[in-house]
Amino acid sequence: MFLRQVNKSRNSTLSNIRKFFLLIIFFIGFVGCNYLYAEGQPGVKESTLLDLIKAGGIVGLFIILVSILGGGLVIEHFVNITRDKLCPPEIVAELEALVEEGQYENALTLCTSNPNFFCNIVGAALSKVNVGYEAMVEAMQAAGEDEAAKLNQKISYISLIGSITPMLGLLGTVVGMISAFGIIKTKMSPSPADLAKGVEEALVTTAEGLLVSIPMMTVFFYFKNKVTLYIIQLGIMAGEFVDKFKGVSVEE
């Protein structure tokens, strides 16, 4: 029964991941087409990626570094926040077999040697097997709350990056405008070219902040929903697993 639930959820997760990547590809294609259209207009000077990075200044460079960090977190989450990582099917099958044979100590050892969401919850319950079913349920609930908090904390850093990058972009906007007004203050009749550097820095950093924030917040809510679903499903599975011990006698 547990394995059927695992396979069903795995197929659903793969489908959601495909949809997410299609959405990202569509977004990149849309931005790229608009960029190519603008570059092809007569009288428009082509700017390289290096020119845009330089135009963003120190604030823009910091936004880029933060985006690289966020990208690394996203890749790590896609790899590790999966059903097979949180609840390995082979471990579940082995646990079922050990419990059916009454080898509770071996089952606890298996959970301890394979730390993951499901094993940590079930292991907490198995550690109270000699106390009784009620104690096992309480231990399972406490461990479940702890594991859920860890998962939510893990993905919260993506939300943090998605929240601070628009503020960094706004900081770059202010710095750029200060630079432009500084030129106005020092020159009686500044030309548009004199003001262009500060204005460009303001616009580039604003765009960089938004271009990082929008995907990051999108990915965060994707993982938020994914984690919430896993917590509910694996909590139910752990509860069904612990229900096997309702008839276990308490050893004094």
Q: What is the pLDDT of residue 2?
A: 40
Query: Do the beta carbons of residue 91 and residue 3 sit within 8 Å?
Result: no
Query: Do the beta carbons of residue 227 and residue 151 sit within 8 Å?
Result: yes
pLDDT grade for 19, boundaries at 50, 70 and 90 = low
Q: What is the pLDDT of residue 230?
A: 93
Q: Alpha helices of 40-88 — where are they, by DSSP H?
A: 49-55, 57-80, 83-86
Is the pLDDT reported for residue 9 higher than 60? no
Q: Percent of the chain, pLDDT > 70?
A: 77
Q: What is the phi-psi region of residue 48: left when phi exceeds 0, alpha when psi lies from -120 to 50, beta otherwise?
A: beta
Query: Do the beta carbons of residue 83 and residue 9 sit within 8 Å?
Result: yes
Residue type, 232: I
Can you tell me the distance from the alpha carbon of 159 to that of 95, in angstroms, rounded to the nearest whole number? 36
Q: What is the pLDDT of residues 30-66, one digit of tens each?
A: 444 544 444 445 554 566 767 777 777 888 899 999 9
10 Å Cβ neighbour count for 111? 23
Is the pLDDT reported for residue 251 higher than 60? no
Q: What is the pLDDT of residues 75-85, one digit of tens each?
A: 999 999 999 99
Query: Do the beta carbons of residue 154 and residue 124 sit within 8 Å?
Result: no
Can you tell me the distance from the alpha carbon of 250 to that of 132, in angstroms, rounded to the nearest whole number? 5
Q: What is the mean pLDDT of the chain?
A: 80
Can you tell me the distance from the alpha carbon of 28 to that of 139, in angstroms, rounded to the nearest whole number? 47
Query: Do the beta carbons of residue 205 and residue 56 sit within 8 Å?
Result: yes
Can you tell me the distance from the alpha carbon of 130 to that of 52, in angstroms, rounded to the nearest whole number? 66
Can you tell me the distance from the alpha carbon of 1 to that of 97, in angstroms, rounded to the nearest whole number? 13
Residue type, 95: L
In this structure, what token pair is assigned to residue 87? 């609840």
Closest CA to 123 of 228, 97, 98, 114: 114
